[in-house]
Amino acid sequence: MKIQIEYFAIYRDLLGISSEELEVSDGLSIKELFLQKTDALMDRDELLESTVFAVNSDYEDCDYILKEGDEIVFIPPVSGG
Amino acid sequence: MKIQIEYFAIYRDLLGISSEELEVSDGLSIKELFLQKTDALMDRDELLESTVFAVNSDYEDCDYILKEGDEIVFIPPVSGG
Amino acid sequence: MFEITTNVLKIEDYLSHVQDDSHGAIVSFLGVVRNIHEGKSVHKIFYECYEKMALKQMKKIQDLTLEKFPMIKMVLVHRVGMVELQEASIVVLTSSKHRKHSFEANMYIMDEVKKLLPIWKKEHHPDGETSWVGIGS
Amino acid sequence: MFEITTNVLKIEDYLSHVQDDSHGAIVSFLGVVRNIHEGKSVHKIFYECYEKMALKQMKKIQDLTLEKFPMIKMVLVHRVGMVELQEASIVVLTSSKHRKHSFEANMYIMDEVKKLLPIWKKEHHPDGETSWVGIGS
């Protein structure tokens, strides 16, 4: 099934892309997706610890199971205001 | 000795004057002065209860003893802001 | 800074007094004339002030506030005279590094204003009647 | 009302949205860029935003706030893009009958903004370096 990832802030800088459409296997959790996409990054564990996840513009737990058409964003610590 | 009374807000309306210079006897308290000046007013007790006193632009207790040259103001409930 | 004025109050006229390159949070309070008080309609309010004492008390409020919140900047301005519906009678500005102190200092200043400033409201009602707020009502 | 904009923020542009003849207290918060953060000099900040989600979260903050403080009016505006020293990145306005709710609602909104809005700061330092706030620093 297909999902969409949008990259913002430090993730766009680290991965060098701003979005991608992706084919993923059924039953994949958002945390597993994150680990796949950040596999090559230094400090991956530290990043995971400070990152939360958004699915279709709402916050979701890291064990959320991806669904067809989801728009996924890895949310580093927010600093609005 | 001489003192000065300035009247504001409801006291100026009730007494019909905005200030006066006054000769008072030694040892007079500000509460006694208030009772003299408001002797003729209806609801004098109620007024006394809700009024505080200022001497030379500072708040003072009702048992303050007047001194030569004091500027006295009867302060009804303030409602600034 | 603090002052008493008969001018219309606008926040933007006072912002520069609290700006500081190291401050990130500016809180402002505007007290405006509203159309009802204790169930009675109000269409404007006359603010009367014992100015000499009010300025002395404003100075005291400023001293107390800067003692409690040493790192802030503040503005306290009260308008006197006739103030129309939805015009401001008071503006209080506070700034500091972070928002917590800006909010707390602003609330503190307003609490002290309500206690200390010798300023009185005469409400003007739509029927032409007037009444002093806080006494004999 | 709430919005995300690239325009310079001014309180007076938003005052009319919280004015109400029955409201006597308007509190505004301005978050402005300051010259230091965690010991490092800052001379401007780039605000990046996941706009679709930020607007959804702003709507949620507005709903939560009006549920907690039913009688208030509010404005929440966040600026994005490059914001210079002492320019505002956020303005929050709240109004109500009395000042207590205006202050409390304003602080509540700011707390939720800091938790929920997917907006990130990239600080620009005087030496030309940049850093994302809150990660890897």
How many structural domains compose chain C?
1
What are the tens digits of pLDDT across the range A15-31?
999 999 999 999 999 99
Distance from CA of B77 to the nearest CA of C (A): 6
Predicted confidence at residue D50, as pLDDT, reads 97
Distance from CA of C100 to the nearest CA of B (A): 22
How big is the A-D interface in CB pairs under 8 Å? 77
At residue D136, does pLDDT exceed 80? no
Q: CB–CB of D19 and C99 under 8 A?
A: no
Cα separation, C62 vs C60, in Å, equals 5
Predicted confidence at residue D137, as pLDDT, reads 45
We report the CATH number of the domain holding residue D69 as 3.90.1170.40
Residue-averaged pLDDT of chain D: 96
At residue B56, does pLDDT exceed 60? yes
Contacts of A10 in chain D (CB under 8 A): 120, 132, 135-136
Q: CB–CB of B47 and C135 under 8 A?
A: yes
Contacts of D22 in chain C (CB under 8 A): 34-36
Distance from CA of B49 to the nearest CA of C (A): 10
Cα separation, A41 vs A11, in Å, equals 10
Predicted confidence at residue C136, as pLDDT, reads 55
Q: CB–CB of B80 and C110 under 8 A?
A: no
C29 touches D99 (CB < 8 A): yes
Instruction: Give pLDDT tens digits along chain C (137 positions).
Output: 999 999 999 999 999 999 999 999 999 999 999 999 988 999 999 999 999 999 999 999 999 999 999 999 999 999 999 999 999 999 999 999 999 999 999 999 999 999 999 999 999 999 999 999 987 54
The full set of domains in chain B, from first to last, is 2-75 (3.10.20.30)
- Six-digit token string for C13: 């006229």
Contacts of A70 in chain D (CB under 8 A): none
pTM of the shown model: 0.95
Distance from CA of D55 to the nearest CA of C (A): 23
Q: CB–CB of A73 and D121 under 8 A?
A: no
Q: Which has the closest alpha carbon to A59: D64, D54, D136?
A: D54
ipTM above 0.90, yes or no: yes
- Six-digit token string for D10: 């001014």
Nearest to D24 among C22, C31, C106 (CB): C31
Least confident of A39-53, B18-32, D21-35: A39-53
Domain of residue C121 covers 2-133
Instruction: Identify residue C115 by its one-letter amino acid code.
Output: K
Which residue of chain C comes nearest to B6, CA vs CA? C50
Sheet holding B58-60, edge to edge: B19-23, B2-6, B71-75, B52-55, B58-60
Predicted confidence at residue C137, as pLDDT, reads 45
**Physical contact, B and A (3 or more Cβ pairs within 8 A):** no
DSSP H helices in chain D: 51-68, 99-116
Q: CB–CB of C26 and D19 under 8 A?
A: no
Contacts of C57 in chain B (CB under 8 A): 57
Contacts of C117 in chain B (CB under 8 A): 78, 80-81
